[in-house]
């Protein structure tokens, strides 16, 4: 599909444009966190404990007197980093296994897909909790574990695309000309199979942000004093009756992030897939 056609269809989708705007703003905030955060997110101020939103602290302070706005801004870096790295890991694994299954078929396809089915039998979140219980909570462990437990959907998408594309004339022509399997897979077929993968990756960032937030909320994700929207919510839970802002503002940050990526992903799907119209 021509780039101009995709761009035109995307630009006509107002929800997709809204999603792109939200994602862009979040990316800029995360990138510029050291310059736009009004306070040091680690600074404890015993004179400003649980201050409500006001001029000095626009979103209030937490139970240690730390500025909530600064912690949410810095937390955006953690949450989005987890999303991008986890999705990157899952996408690479899914592409490799899906390509092998779809191209070679037979026992290779059967083995890989049975492994996919086995992985899908386990609830992903509880599988992640189990693994973290053994390896311990840290930001790198969270990134890797989410990536290693969320590649199955990508593998199935890539396999389906390969099963369709490997019978096309341009692939048969490459086989006839004596091209090696790796060249056929990564040069001829894979570039034509990436459209659903790209959409899945965008939607996957939203899912990863939610998982990271849930894990940090339970105390199994990013550990304090490093700010994460999830562990900020934990502080909000402990002070819900006297400090509503500790729950509302990080919750809104997670909501906007997930909403933005979902709108962007749906818009890309509609623009890239001819079966959908904006």
Q: What CATH number is given to the structural domain containing 195?
A: 1.10.3720.10
In-domain check, residue 235: yes
In-domain check, residue 184: yes
**Number of domains the chain is built from:** 1
pLDDT value for 218? 85
* Angle subtended at Cα 100 by Cα 264 and Cα 204, rounded to the nearest 5 degrees: 20
Report phi then psi at 61, rounded to 5: -130, 165
pLDDT value for 278? 41
Is residue 239 classed as helix, strand or coil in its secondary structure?
A: coil
In-domain check, residue 233: yes
In-domain check, residue 278: no
* Angle subtended at Cα 100 by Cα 98 and Cα 102, rounded to the nearest 5 degrees: 65
pLDDT value for 1? 52
Q: 16, 270 in Cβ contact below 8 A?
A: yes
pLDDT value for 35? 93
Domain that holds residue 240: 3-272
> Rounded distance, CA 245 to CA 243, Å?
5
> Rounded distance, CA 158 to CA 96, Å?
9
- Ranges under pLDDT 50 in the chain: 277-278
In-domain check, residue 185: yes
Report phi then psi at 67, rounded to 5: -65, 125
In-domain check, residue 7: yes
In-domain check, residue 175: yes
Helix segments in the chain, DSSP class H: 3-11, 14-31, 33-36, 68-104, 106-121, 124-135, 139-148, 152-165, 169-176, 181-183, 195-217, 229-238, 245-272
């Amino acid at each position: 599909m021509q780039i101009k056609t995709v761009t035109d269809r995307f630009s006509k989708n107002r929800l997709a444009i809204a999603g792109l705007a939200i994602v862009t703003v979040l990316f800029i905030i995360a990138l510029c966190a050291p310059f736009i955060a009004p306070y040091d997110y680690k600074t404890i101020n015993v004179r400003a404990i649980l201050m409500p939103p006001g001029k000095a602290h626009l979103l209030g302070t937490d139970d240690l007197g730390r500025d909530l706005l600064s912690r949410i801004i810095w937390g955006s870096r953690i949450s989005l980093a987890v999303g991008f790295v986890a999705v990157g890991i899952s996408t690479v694994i899914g592409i490799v296994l899906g390509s092998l299954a779809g191209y070679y078929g037979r026992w290779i396809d059967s083995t890989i897909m049975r492994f996919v089915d086995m992985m899908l039998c386990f609830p992903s979140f509880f599988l992640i909790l189990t693994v973290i219980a053994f390896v311990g909570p840290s930001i790198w462990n969270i990134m890797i574990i989410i990536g290693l437990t969320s590649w199955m959907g990508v593998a199935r998408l890539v396999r389906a695309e390969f099963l369709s594309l490997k019978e096309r004339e341009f692939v048969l022509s490459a086989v006839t000309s004596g091209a090696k399997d790796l060249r056929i897979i990564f040069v001829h077929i894979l570039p034509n199979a990436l459209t659903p993968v790209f959409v899945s990756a965008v939607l996957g960032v939203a899912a990863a942000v939610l998982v990271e937030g849930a894990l940090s909320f339970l105390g199994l994700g990013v550990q304090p004093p490093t700010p994460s929207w999830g562990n900020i919510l934990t502080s909000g839970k402990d002070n819900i009756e006297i400090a509503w802002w500790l729950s509302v503002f990080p919750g809104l940050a997670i909501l906007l992030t997930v909403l933005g990526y979902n709108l962007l992903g749906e818009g890309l799907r509609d623009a890239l897939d001819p079966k959908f119209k904006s």
